[in-house]
Structure 1
Amino acid sequence: MLSSPVNSSSYPLLLADIGGTNARFAIETAHTELQAVKVLPCAAYPSLEAALHSYLQDSASMAAGAGRVRHAGIAIANPVHGDQVRMTNHHWEFSISATRSQFGFERLNVVNDFTALALSLPHLQAHQYFQVGGKQPLAGSAIGLLGAGTGLGVSGLIPAGGKWLPLHSEGGHASFTPANTKEVAILEFAWREFPHVSAERLLSGPGLVLIYRALAELHQTAVPPLEAPDILQRGLHQQCAICVEVLACFCEMLGTMAANLAITLGARAGIYIGGGIVPRLGDYLLQSGFRARFEEKGRFRNYLAAIPVYVITEAYPALIGLSALHRQQPSE
């Protein structure tokens, strides 16, 4: 996929995947060779520039060639339109041109994180994902992508003349669609706090908390305040009945969202799921109602039953996508 060899002078190549919670950095020293991989908490730094400076001054980064970096790519959990970037789920904002100048980069690519993740999909190997139902991908069809973390990312790849074109989508902000009375009750609970309840409001880390609070009220049960990681762990280990129900609801809601994406794009080459939450579910997703909900589309049940769903287990897929983006661009 658009993967012409990159000139050796492009290395070392700085790669960064910036989410609402964590910033992941690496230096690619040769094709597919990632060195000095490091995850920094965004809250610990006042700006992207501060986090980037800290990473580049790290001893492991310096050993990987940080001092010689002239080309860089940043994937960020935010729409990228023009020079100024302001994050939706974090307070960082920056100018692409000013950052390029400040760090002396000859080339700086900045794209939405799910655009980068989409570009990685044709380069993933079988050990970097697992399949959740469906049959074989249909060659020549679109690929869908979504993933829940701090927010809900949506993208995809469209085949075009032997190449793949990534979608620059903000589909996570489409309105949430309930599929049963319980989900209607959760939506009504959310409406009391948000005039517009997007899919992201529920299919995300903060969404786990919102579902938890909604179900507690629905069952008239007093529960302690919990953050998303605790809800996830207690649900997986069956230590809290409400948390178990939260995960069940989350997986079914995700099934609806994935199916909507599949039929909207005609993504018969498969739906890929990334992000920080779903890969942590592991076998739980296979045992949940996700796949049944994915196929519950009435007359389109057979259409959806054939579409494979893959959960990405690779730790740094967006970095792979950034590298692919760099390779497909002509040398300057």
Structure 2
Amino acid sequence: MTALVGDIGGTNARFALWNGQHVEAVRVLPTADFPSVEAAIRAYLQDIGQPVEALQSVCLACAGPVSGDEFVFTNNHWRLSRQAFCRELGLRDLLLINDFTAMALGMTRLRDGELIEICPGQSEIGRPRLVVGPGTGLGVATLLPLTDGGWRALPGEGGHVCLPVGSAREAALWGCLHAELGHVNAEAVLSGSGLLALYRTSCVLDGKQPRLASPMEVTAAALAGDAYAEAVLEQFCVWLGRIAGDNVLTTGAQGGVYIAGGIVPRFAEFFARSGFSRSLRDKGRMSRYFDNVPVWLVTAEYSGLEGAGVALQQQLESMSY
């Protein structure tokens, strides 16, 4: 019988088999290419030569708040009904979890060489750890250590908190964003589309004509030495530090901070020397709170799938008692 795990974001759906507590047969499918998650799963199974009838267990990690039967994906066109999903694929149950619940659990499966130290420190035993990841959106979750040595992931929607303002420049940028968007959340700048929005807003503020048309172009120009693109990417890193620092204070995450997601690893060296660390601890009289908080950049490719597998394994083990 087949256990399937999926990590579904706004742009891509990643699927794999969960076998022997490991993922295998990983495939990445663009969500735009399929009308539904069921259609994408059927295409995945056909590609790897597995019959739909062999499916026994499925865990899907999905971008957005998870509750009830109906799930509407935050950043793509798919909708999902647990009952309809199980009926179509012949399953008794579907384990549906938030994508950053899976990402957080994936941090417990990291291997050597999948972390880059950004801020040195020492994890405080028994304290939570924070996971933050800019991608198609901005994911935030918390890892809680358990007394038996395991971990519990707490889901949340921290990417939709209000974007903090820490300087006159940021206030001016926020004003431009507010005039366009109304409510300005963290994801408005700390995501793929957010990086492009930050670049365009900066151009408006500075009276410049935008010449870069995608987040990839902004990143590439910054890494190639374009001074204006560098300044925009620097502001992105600074704002990420502010959000991460706010969440550390809120959750007490002195166990450490993982920076995950698909964006930041593309400019790891730039990020390591950016103002991220300074803005992380720019909290007035609480700045010393961060003196020993380690920060790591995660370079693992499929942490969300690994975490979905961990969640599925936990469910299967609990059902066996």
Determine if the TM-score, normalized by the shorter chain, exceeds 0.5. Answer: yes
Q: Distance in 2 between matches of 1:138 and 1:131?
A: 16
Provide Cα deviations, 1:253-272, integer angstroms capped at 9, x if missing partner.
00111111111111010011
User: 2:309 is matched by which residue type in structure 1?
Assistant: S
Q: Is 2:149 the counterpart of 1:159?
A: no
Identify the match of residue 232 of structure 1 among 210, 219, 230: 219
Q: Is 2:311 the counterpart of 1:331?
A: no
Q: 1:193: Cα distance to partner?
A: 1.2
Q: Is 2:41 the counterpart of 1:52?
A: yes
More off after superposition, 65-74 vs 80-89 = 65-74
Structure 1 residues not aligned, in runs of 5+: 1-10
Specify the alignment match of 2:291 in structure 1.
305
Provide Cα deviations, 1:75-107, integer angstroms capped at 9, x if missing partner.
011111111000111111010121122112244
Q: Distance in 1 between matches of 2:90 and 2:228?
A: 52
Specify the alignment match of 1:6 in structure 2.
none
Specify the alignment match of 1:5 in structure 2.
none
Q: Distance in 2 between matches of 1:31 and 1:89?
A: 29
Counterparts in 2 of 1:288 and 1:66: CA distance versus 1, 3 Å? farther
Provide Cα deviations, 1:148-205, integer angstroms capped at 9, x if missing partner.
1111111101234334332121111110001111111111110111110001111111
Q: CA RMSD in A?
A: 1.6
Q: 1:301: Cα distance to partner?
A: 2.1
Q: Is the 8 A contact 1:56 1:67 kept in 2?
A: no
Q: Is the 8 A contact 1:149 1:205 kept in 2?
A: yes
Across the two proteins, how many residue pairs are aligned to each other? 317
Q: Is 2:6 the counterpart of 1:16?
A: yes
Specify the alignment match of 1:135 in structure 2.
121
TM-score (norm 1): 0.91
Counterparts in 2 of 1:106 and 1:30: CA distance versus 1, 3 Å? farther
Identify the match of residue 175 of structure 1 among 162, 165, 170: 162
Q: Distance in 2 between matches of 1:109 and 1:311?
A: 28
TM-score (norm 2): 0.94
User: 1:134 is matched by which residue type in structure 2?
Assistant: P
Counterparts in 2 of 1:36 and 1:159: CA distance versus 1, 3 Å? closer
Identify the match of residue 266 of structure 2 among 260, 276, 280: 280
Specify the alignment match of 1:120 in structure 2.
106
Q: 1:225: Cα distance to partner?
A: 4.8
What does 1:1-332 align with in structure 2 at a 5 Å threshold?
12-32=2-22, 34-58=23-47, 61-62=48-49, 68-162=54-148, 163-238=150-225, 240-329=226-315, 330-331=318-319
Q: Distance in 1 between matches of 2:227 and 2:194?
A: 18
